[in-house]
Amino acid sequence: MTAFSVTARLAGYWVLGTGYWVLFFPRYFYYDVLMSQPPLFHFAESYNDADQYCLSGFLCPDPFAVLEISRRKVILAVSSMEEGRAKLETSGKTVVSLHRKKSISLNQILADLIRDHGTERVRVLPSFPVGLAQDLKGEGIGIEIDGRTLRERRRVKTLGQIKAIEQAQRSCEGVFTMVRSLLAGCPVKGDVLFHEGRPLTAQKVRSMIEVFFLERGFETADTIFAPGRGGADPHWRGEGPIHVGVPIVMDVFPRSRKSRYHSDMSRTFVVGRATRSVREMHAAVVEAQDVALERIKQGVPLSEVHQAVCDLFRKRGYPVPGDGKFPRRGFIHGTGHGLGLEIHESPSVSVTAEIFQPGDVVTIEPGLYDRRIGGMRIEDVVACMPDGTVRNLTQFDRELEII
């Protein structure tokens, strides 16, 4: 809202005899109107754009506009075919049609939408379409990049959002129970596991994981089920038959189709007896995670948690980042990451200077990797509750061997 329009509104209230609003609520006008930043504006679909879903609360496969004047005043401009559904599925937001002026271009419609709400300048996210930004500038709309506001808002989870992550985590633990039972029950021919008369492959296990989640209202993509030496690449999805005695890194991060919040969990299994080197790697990872879980408290710099993990691994004889260049074996990534509407978001449990604060939800996932052996990773989800207490939302054990 421009300064002129604010002055006009205040004068109008006074003339109409409602000057008490100004007298009783001067701070509201001063902070929310006179001193406010330009509105946040975004244009995207919300199935894959978590920022758009955060701003709108509306799940839509087609791009639409969100203009956030304040946290109390949010306008959604959607296609005509989505207008009715948007009104039914959102609360406290104003819904208008993008197609109310069919004779003009999209950028003109969006520029008019912005001007209709008293401003000619907006803040946009770093992911805002460059082409559209240029078109809006051509229509006389000022553009500012704001990469901080929404990142910080999404970082601080409410109690309800933490509960949604915890519900996803329970489902995630259910799939680990299913897979462990599957591996335990497979007959072995030579050193290969068989299932329904055929060698059990990583691809088959992944498909079973996906079906498990779909039947329970969750979805997942790029699940990691990485047996053997290939598991030394932390994000290798895995392929081929499952062999007895080799480590299998299983990393699953489902998203609730209702809440849109993720969980994230990793465990490493060996069917049968593990070798001595694998058992030693596993013991070191368990100890490193214990050190991190003991260290992480409200007010603690997350870099200290990461450093404690690095110190433990170095003490056990495993290379860590900072020992020259990134090591070819040992600990080769950060200790964890924020979790929420996206699988990786703020804050990072690594070398950053961020402080663990109420509302933060992070993973704690130390790992060790060796191309002669494979990978070893254990991952839990930890929340700093609104009252400052720290809760591990993960309830699954860390046993290595499936006998």
pLDDT digits over 65-99, tens only? Answer: 999 999 999 999 999 999 999 999 999 999 999 98
Residue 255: which of 308, 296, 216 has the closest Cα? 216
H helix or E strand, kind and range, residue 336: strand 336-338
The pLDDT value recorded for residue 322 is 76
> Does the domain at residues 156-402 carry the CATH identifier 2.130.10.10?
no
The pLDDT value recorded for residue 7 is 32
Residue 127: which of 60, 63, 34 has the closest Cα? 63
Check if the beta carbon of residue 229 is closer than 8 Å to that of residue 203: no
Euclidean distance between CA atoms 279 and 221, whole angstroms: 30
* Cα angle 183, 318, 306; round to 5: 90
The pLDDT value recorded for residue 23 is 36
Check if the beta carbon of residue 403 is closer than 8 Å to that of residue 182: no
Task: Name the 3-class secondary structure at 83.
Answer: helix
Euclidean distance between CA atoms 69 and 112, whole angstroms: 15
The pLDDT value recorded for residue 352 is 87
The pLDDT value recorded for residue 104 is 84
Residue 68: which of 98, 97, 94, 103 has the closest Cα? 94
Q: So what's the architecture of 37-154 in CATH?
A: 3-Layer(aba) Sandwich (3.40)
The pLDDT value recorded for residue 327 is 67
DSSP 8-state assignment for residue 371: T
The pLDDT value recorded for residue 182 is 98
Question: Which segments in the chain show pLDDT lower than 50?
Answer: 1-35
Euclidean distance between CA atoms 293 and 322, whole angstroms: 22
CA-derived radius of gyration, the chain: 26
H helix or E strand, kind and range, residue 56: helix 50-56
Phi, psi angle pair for 118, to nearest 5° = 80, 25
Task: Name the 3-class secondary structure at 46.
Answer: coil
Q: Structural domain boundaries of the chain?
A: 37-154, 156-402
